[in-house]
Amino acid sequence: IRTGVHPHEFTEANIARMTEQMRRAGWGYDWSRELATSHPDYYRWTQWLFLRFLEKGLAFKKTAPVNWCPSCQTVLANEQVKDGGCERCGTQVEQRDMDQWFFRMSAYAQRLLDNHARLEGKWPEAVLKLQKEWIGRSEGARVEFEVAETGDPVPVFTTRPDTLWGVTFMSLAPEHPLVEKLVRGTEHEERVMAAVREMRAAGTSEKDLAEREKVGVFTGFHVINPVNGEKVPLWVANFALMTYGTGAVMAVPAHDQRDFEFARKYGIPIKVVIEPREGRLDPETMTEAYVDPGVMVASGPFDGRLNTEAMGDVISWLEEHGHGRREINYKLRDWLISRQRYWGAPIPIVYCDACGVVPVPEEELPVLLPTDVQFHEGGGNPLATSESFVHTSCPSCGGPARRETDTMDTFVDSSWYFLRYCDPHNDRAPFGEAALRHWMPVDQYIGGIEHATMHLIYARFFTMVLHDLGLLDFDEPFDRLFCQGMVCKTAYYCPEHKYLREDEVIDGRREGDVIVDGKCAHCGTPVESEMTKISKSKFNIVDPDAMMDRFG
């Protein structure tokens, strides 16, 4: 869209140039194994693997709140949202409800964690730590609250069941379906939904949520706390996440700092249920939440118990009384693979009014990207503009059908490329058994730590699935990992025209290699600069030819 050049031509030209540069540099690659994930003889097998995932129930479609980039006109995975903006263009991300394809990565959350034991000492500790935090295993309880006025169930997941007797309000995520259901047609609807729309328009990254001011709106409804029968107000708050737990958060201001600040801001009562062994806490004069271990008070049958020792007994009590159950929760979500972009492997699915969702037969793969598409800024999904692509016949009944117009996230292609390198010319399978026995798993993998929670988790997930499908006899792709660090260079950003090439920055002065006080050549807006990793999308790469001309 930016260059006016078709992505196929652009990609092939870049491949040719980079190949020439690598040959010139004398890098010792086996060029007979060269492949490109954008070539049909590769993405044919990406589509074949998608069908295997579908058969196993690991590929599925559902309506879900998604991250939408209004500039790129596509959905982004959570991992591709940085500080509330699109990783590629920086535009503020919006929340929308859309039908999307997912891979059921959550089913492998515990295994992804368990296998870390085999990688310790061979992978950088920092990478394992980042993955552990991203997967986010939490042990706790699922507790059954209900709306006082309607009886609607509101289950919550909590890692602090010992504080249940101190709940003084509950928060729902702005995307929670119960919000609209409760307020629709009531005096609260306009006020609540206006606040919800504002919250949903904000960023979604953890860093963004942590730094953002905590705001909320009272729904006009209440929930009943099952452990003591107390009725507490039901709020919608921007810190409650639909992607974690149940999308509902029980709030205990006396023993959680975020809840404490929110309660003070909105005048919500604070109830102490854990006190230090010596001394008493006054909720009226507390200046911060008490989060240390202590003695349970005002907690029914658990008064006088040390909270750290009573945790398991509280969960057992909940189970005995039908108020909840022991549960393990993960932050890791299913992988949203749908993209409204042209440059990706077409999802091999057709929709038939008579037969429903129908997989494309293997003998009809690859489903090729069409050439009669329109590319323009803000133009939506390019594949949907191709009549020849969209309209097809149903593989099941032969009647008229429509092709899926979303493509797969390009991370799907890169999640198994190392397997194809072992057998790149195989036209009967994505890889052969003998080739894999000879080459895999990878002895030493080299890559940047920025891939810790994207490519490296995706590749591990893919390998585990292919192992379970009987296609591999190993379930970890990379035996050893070395992160080489990142080369950084200044990038220039215009709020209107996004990231700029250096020659698109004018009227500035040079200080060393950096342009200071520059303006955008297209609109004259002052340009922002940042030192960041070199990236094609940020136009701050270093040309190898210039370096070789200078240094050899």
For the structural domain made of 138-328, what CATH number should be given?
3.90.740.10
Name the pLDDT band for 207 (thresholds 50, 70, 90): low
Whose tokens are 């729904």? That residue is 219
**Beta strand 74-76 pairing with 59-69:** antiparallel
Question: Residue type at 217?
Answer: V
pLDDT single digits (tens) 278-294: 889 999 999 999 999 99
Dist CA 186 CA 331 (whole Å): 34
Q: What is the pTM of this model?
A: 0.86
Name the pLDDT band for 346 (thresholds 50, 70, 90): very high
Q: How confident is the model at residue 422, as a pLDDT? A: 98
| 3-state SS record for 96-146 | EEEEEEEECHHHHHHHHHHCHHHHECCECHHHHHHHHHHHCEEEEEEEEEE
pLDDT single digits (tens) 387-412: 999 999 999 999 999 999 999 999 99
Q: How confident is the model at residue 19, as a pLDDT? A: 95
Residues across the chain? 552
Contact 363, 117 (CB under 8 A): no
Q: Where in the chain is the domain with CATH 2.20.28?
A: 490-551
Q: Which range is least confidently modeled, 101-110, 199-208, 355-364?
A: 199-208
Q: How confident is the model at residue 377, as a pLDDT? A: 61
pLDDT single digits (tens) 419-443: 999 999 999 999 999 999 999 999 9
| 3-state SS record for 399-451 | CEEEECCCEECHHHHCCCHHHHHCCCCCCCCCCCHHHHHHHCCEEEEECCHHH
pLDDT single digits (tens) 228-270: 999 999 999 999 988 888 999 999 999 999 999 999 999 999 9
Q: How confident is the model at residue 3, as a pLDDT? A: 67
Which CATH architecture group holds 490-551?
Answer: Single Sheet (2.20)
How wide is the angle at C-alpha 429 spanned by C-alphas 423 and 433, nearest 5°?
60
Q: Where in the chain is the domain with CATH 3.90.740.10?
A: 138-328
**Arithmetic mean of pLDDT, 28-45:** 96
Q: How confident is the model at residue 205, as a pLDDT? A: 54
Q: How confident is the model at residue 1, as a pLDDT? A: 57
pLDDT single digits (tens) 473-501: 999 999 999 998 888 999 999 999 999 99
Class of domain 35-113+336-482 (CATH, top level): alpha beta
Q: Where in the chain is the domain with CATH 3.40.50.620?
A: 35-113+336-482
Judge whether residue 379 has pLDDT over 90: no
How wide is the angle at C-alpha 421 spanned by C-alphas 415 and 422, nearest 5°?
115
The DSSP bridge partners found for residue 68 are 75, 94
Residue 200: exposed, middle, or buried by beta-carbon count in 10 A (0-12, 13-18, 19+)?
middle
**Which secondary-structure segment (H or E) carries 200?**
helix 189-200
CA 229 to centroid of chain Cα atoms = 37
Dist CA 538 CA 500 (whole Å): 7
The percentage of residues in the chain with a pLDDT greater than 70, rounded to a whole number, is 96
Judge whether residue 376 has pLDDT over 70: no
Mean pLDDT of the chain: 93
Which residues, including other chains, have CB under 8 Å from residue 66's CB and lie 6 or more apart? 75, 76, 95, 96, 97, 98, 100, 336
